[in-house]
Amino acid sequence: MRTGDFKQTYGELVTLVDSPPVWLWSAVLVAGLVVAPFVLNSYALSFLMIILITVVGALGLNILTGYTGLISLGHVGFLVTGAYAYAVLVSKYHMHPLVGFLGAGVVPALASLIVGAPSLRLKGLYLAITTLAFSFIINTVILEARWLTSGARGIPVQRPEIFGFSFDSDAAFTYLCLGFAILTLFATLNIRRSRVGRAFVAIRDNDTAARVMGINLHAYKLFAFVTSAFITGLAGALYGIYLSFVSVEGFPFLLSIEALAILIVGGLGSALGAVLGTILIVLLPEATRLVFSLFSAQMDAMFTTGAQELKSMLYGLVIILFLRFQPRGLVGAWHDIRRMWVNWPLRY
């Protein structure tokens, strides 16, 4: 009798998915997402777009915080850098959108070298603090460099047109976001199972042991910084296009907290966790609003007046409750349920 999910060979450890049915389910999911823009109304579609964009950013942070174990409180800094890189290249200098996306990845990656290189000596809390400082400094730099970024006025951004195909409509833009999300998912899954990804996880689990085994801590930590910033920058560009306007106010510090909340709720260090966490965190305010409106119109009114406050309060509450009761996140809960299903009626 099968008593669990055991990996017996090295090859099984580095496969992309656990079992063939996962491919089938993924295909069904992708097919559903492809059909979705035709079925959903524009309100629901905007949630789908936000989820897809946020997945890209969450997967980016997951490389740094989830895989390598380096806490970043300043990822919104990379997000805003990416958005500005795209806006400046495309809106201001009228470059090709693909060049814009490339810039949106490369510029934050370079910025991450600047913040990452001096941070290599630091661990844990101290790193969190320097990244936090970085996100505030980058905001000031953007506001001061008016010749490039228009300062506090911000830059309007058009939906892109790539090789004659316009992404102007919501449905088309959703496909663009979907493309980025799938590419990022594949990229991060592949990083995780490659030599590099295993080095990241080794650093997270025990950096001293990793170094003894010949992993160059500095090089790999920097690499984690750069890849993470590259992907996060792309998410920033997409978010800027979605907002159709890039400004410092469009990227509040709360986004950094939201990103960490996503990883914690989903399950740190798991790509599936990042996706599940994104869906939960993005839909949480909406779901709560629905529940509240069932009770009474008065509560619904309270929600519309204090929407922003309630939203951030929910994020805080969700972070605390998950850390307290389910520190492994939704993925952990899913593993528990699966094990219960296999082992029932025995507990183990």
Partner 1 sequence: MQYLIQLLISGLAIGAIYGLIAMGFAVIYKSTGLVNFAQGEMTMITAYIAWTISTTVSGNVFVVALGAILAAVVLGLVIERVVMRPMLGEPVFATVMVTIGLAVILRSSINFIWDAYPHGLDVGVGRTIVRIGSIGVRTGQIAVIATLLALLAAIWAFFRYSKIGVAMRAVAADDRTALLMGISATRVHALAWAASSVIAGIGGVFFALSYDLSPAMFQLGLKAFPATILGGLDAVIGSGLGGLLIGITENLAGGYVGSGMKEVAGFAMIIVVLMIRPFGIFGERDIERV
CB of 268 to partner 1, least distance (A): 8
Identify the residue among 14, 36, 129, 217 touching partner 1 (CB under 8 A). Answer: 129
CB of 127 to partner 1, least distance (A): 9
CB-nearer residue toward partner 1: 193 or 218: 218
Strand pairing partners for 162?
165
Q: Which of residues 50-79 bind partner 1 (CB under 8 A)?
A: 71, 73
CB of 209 to partner 1, least distance (A): 10
| Percent composition of the chain: helix, strand, coil (DSSP 3-state, to 5) | 80, 0, 20
CB of 245 to partner 1, least distance (A): 22
Phi, psi of 309 (to 5 degrees): -65, -45
* Opening angle at CA 47, ends 45 and 53, nearest 5: 105
Q: How many angstroms separate the CA atoms of 304 and 182, rounded?
A: 34
Q: Which of residues 292-311 bind partner 1 (CB under 8 A)?
A: 306, 308-310
The set of residues, in sequence order, having a beta carbon less than 8 Å from that of 198 and lying 6+ positions away, is 192
Q: How many angstroms separate the CA atoms of 320 and 19, rounded?
A: 34
Identify the residue among 235, 246, 260, 279 touching partner 1 (CB under 8 A). Answer: 260
Identify the residue among 264, 271, 279, 330 touching partner 1 (CB under 8 A). Answer: 264
| Number of residues near partner 1 (by CB under 8 A) | 41
Look at residues 32, 2, 34 and name the one whose alpha carbon lies nearest to residue 19.
2
130 forms part of the interface with partner 1 (CB under 8 A): yes
Identify the residue among 122, 171, 217, 222 touching partner 1 (CB under 8 A). Answer: 122
CB-nearer residue toward partner 1: 9 or 208: 208
Identify the residue among 195, 316, 336, 337 touching partner 1 (CB under 8 A). Answer: 316
Give the number of other Cβ atoms within 10 Å of residue 277's Cβ.
30
Look at residues 200, 198, 225, 224 and name the one whose alpha carbon lies nearest to residue 77.
225
CB of 25 to partner 1, least distance (A): 31
Look at residues 288, 296, 341, 336 and name the one whose alpha carbon lies nearest to residue 312.
288
Exposure string over 202-212, b if 16+ CB within 10 A, otherwise e? bbbeebeebee
Q: Which of residues 145-184 bind partner 1 (CB under 8 A)?
A: none
Q: Which of residues 209-238 bind partner 1 (CB under 8 A)?
A: none
Binding site for partner 1 (CB under 8 A): 71, 73, 118-119, 121-122, 124-126, 128-130, 132-134, 136-137, 140, 143-144, 208, 254, 257, 260-261, 264, 306, 308-310, 312-313, 315-320, 323-324, 327
